[in-house]
Amino acid sequence: MLIGSDDLGDLSGECEYCGTDLRYTYAIIHPSWGAMVVGTDCCDNLTGTMLASEHHEKYLKKMERRKRFVSSKRWKRIRSGGEWLIQEGLSVFILPSANKFLIRMGSVEGAARYDSAIDAKLKAFDFIESGEATAFFIKRGERERRRSDQQSKRGKSADDFAKLIEQAGLSVPQRLPTAIRRK
Ligand SMILES: [Zn+2]
C-alpha cells in the first residue's frame, strides 16, 4: 500500500528494497516487508500497481509547467515596476515592495513578501495549480454576494419605513439614519 511520496531535491535517498540512490521516494507498507521507503519502480512492483510511476509522470509534468510559467513570455512588464500575466482567467501581478516582491491576484494583495520575483512566481503557480486560488475567489465572491444581498435587504426595509412614515401622514425627518438616507 502506497502511503506517501517525496521529492528530496537530489539523489540523497536510497531504496530500501534494491539499494538504488533516489531522489523521488515513496513510503509504502508491504504485507510481508512492513513499512519501507522505495523508488518508483520498486513501489510499482511491490504494490502491484502503477500508482508510483503515474504519480511520478504527473509530478514531472507539473514541475515542467512550473518552470515554463516562471520564464513564460506571457509575463508583461509594468512600467511602474513588476510584471503581470493572466493565468487560468486570473490576473497575476508580481510587484516590487521594499526590496522584496509580493503577489497580487485580481484586486487582492497577498500578505507574504518574497526575496525574488521568481520565488513569488513559483508561489503564485502553486497557489493556482493546487486549486487554492479558485477556491479562495469563489469563497470571496460568495461573501461579497451575501454582503450585497444584506445591503439590498436593508435598503428595502428603509424604503418600507419611509413609506410607513408617509402613510402615517408624518413628514420624513431631515436627518435620517444612514441606512435610510442611502435610498
Ligand atoms: Zn528499488
The count of structural domains within the chain is 3
The residue segments making up the domain with residue 109 are: 76-130
pLDDT digits (tens, 9 = 90+) for 79-122: 989 999 999 889 999 999 999 999 999 989 999 999 999 999 99
Q: What distance in angstroms lies between residue 131's CA and the mean position of ligand 1's atoms?
A: 33
Q: Which of 11, 10, 43, 8 is nearest to 28 (CA)?
A: 43
pTM exceeding the 0.75 threshold for the entire prediction: no
Same domain, 63 and 17: yes
Average pLDDT of the residues in 118-136: 94
**DSSP letters along 92-151, please?**
EEEEEETTEEEEEETTEEPS--BSSHHHHHHHHHHHHHTTHHHHHHHHHHHHHHHHHHHH
95 with 141, same domain: the answer is no
User: From ligand 1's centre to the CA of 157, what distance in Å?
Assistant: 71
Quick one: pLDDT at residue 23?
95
Instruction: Say if residue 9 is in the same domain as residue 24.
Output: yes
Q: Rounded to the nearest whole angstrom, what is the distance from the C-alpha of residue 46 to the centroid of ligand 1?
A: 9
pLDDT number for residue 168: 67
Same domain, 8 and 63: yes
Task: Please identify, among 130, 148, 163, the residue that sits at the C-terminal boundary of a domain.
Answer: 130
- Is 155 a residue whose pLDDT tops 80? no
- Pair (25, 80) in one structural domain: no
